[in-house]
């Protein structure tokens, strides 16, 4: 179940790139609150308050704006080029009793023994699209890979999905698997299994060559 946090925001009257840069220089993050049949409102939030909540994985927040409280989910976050500072945030108002569609991260737990056997772990799917009631949004979907052997695959159908959550991804979608590493030769082609050498084969071949009649 999603954790909640209170977030006090202020309206911002000036819009545009220059105004947003000024806000960031003052330690504020520009953003918007929209959705739920209400007028979108441009807002600003103190970065020192917002950053810990985002880094802690908060997805549902109680937004206080001019004394009014709304439940909202974190819809989109924009970061600077280094992925350190939040440059913009969008909050989407929701009714706790209505279903919402959202993507949640997939978190791998454990070490796959297939990797220890020489395989390579690949995770094609990093986020899972779901719909559920706002208060049921999970922080992540955990996948236990402690028994994943070489050649084995975890599909969406294998995931343990909490009750009340509907997955919006085909059941046969690959989440994670352990594949065989292909060894390539110097020419860039794949090397097959090495053919075992037959003892005495070379000696016999040499003998046959020696006994063969010479051409005159």
pLDDT at 95: 83
Question: Do 85 and 155 belong together in one domain?
Answer: no
pLDDT at 213: 52
Q: Are 129 and 164 in contact (CB under 8 A)?
A: no
Q: Are 7 and 51 in contact (CB under 8 A)?
A: no
pLDDT in tens, 40-84: 899 999 999 998 888 887 778 888 888 888 888 888 899 988 888
Radius of gyration of the chain (CA): 29
pLDDT at 212: 52
**What is the pTM (predicted TM-score) of this model?**
0.58
Residue 169 domain-assigned?
yes
Of 94, 123, 147, which marks where a domain is finished? 94
pLDDT at 200: 47
Question: Domain range spanning residue 17?
Answer: 4-94
Of 51, 68, 94, which marks where a domain is finished? 94
Give, as one character, the DSSP assignment of residue 190.
B
The strands making up 119-122's β-sheet, listed across from edge to edge, are 119-122, 174-180, 153-155
Task: Spell out, as residue ranges, where the chain has pLDDT lower than 70.
Answer: 1-4, 183-216
Give, as one character, the DSSP assignment of residue 184.
B
Residue 73's nearest CA partner among 55, 57, 87, 94 is 94
Residue 194 domain-assigned?
no
Q: What is the CATH number of the domain that holds 163?
A: 2.170.120.20
pLDDT at 9: 92
């Amino acid at each position: 179940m999603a954790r909640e946090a209170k977030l006090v925001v202020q309206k911002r009257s000036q819009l545009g790139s220059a105004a947003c840069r000024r806000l960031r220089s003052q330690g504020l993050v520009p953003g918007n609150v929209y959705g739920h049949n209400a007028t979108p409102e441009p807002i600003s939030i103190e970065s020192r308050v917002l950053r810990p909540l985002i880094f802690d994985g908060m997805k549902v927040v109680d937004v206080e704006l001019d004394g009014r409280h709304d439940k909202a989910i974190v819809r989109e976050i924009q970061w600077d080029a280094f992925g350190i500072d939040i440059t913009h945030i969008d909050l989407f108002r929701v009714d706790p009793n209505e279903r919402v569609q959202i993507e949640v991260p997939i978190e791998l737990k454990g070490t796959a023994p297939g990797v220890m056997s020489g395989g390579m772990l690949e995770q094609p799917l990093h986020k899972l699209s779901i719909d559920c009631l706002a208060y049921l949004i999970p922080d992540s979907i955990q996948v236990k890979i402690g028994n994943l052997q070489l050649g084995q695959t975890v599909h969406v159908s294998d995931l343990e999905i909490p009750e009340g959550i509907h997955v919006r991804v085909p059941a046969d979608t690959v989440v994670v698997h352990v594949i065989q590493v292909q060894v390539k030769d110097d020419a860039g082609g794949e090397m097959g299994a090495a053919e075992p050498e037959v003892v005495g084969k070379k000696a016999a071949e040499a003998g046959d060559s020696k006994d063969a009649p010479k051409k005159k």
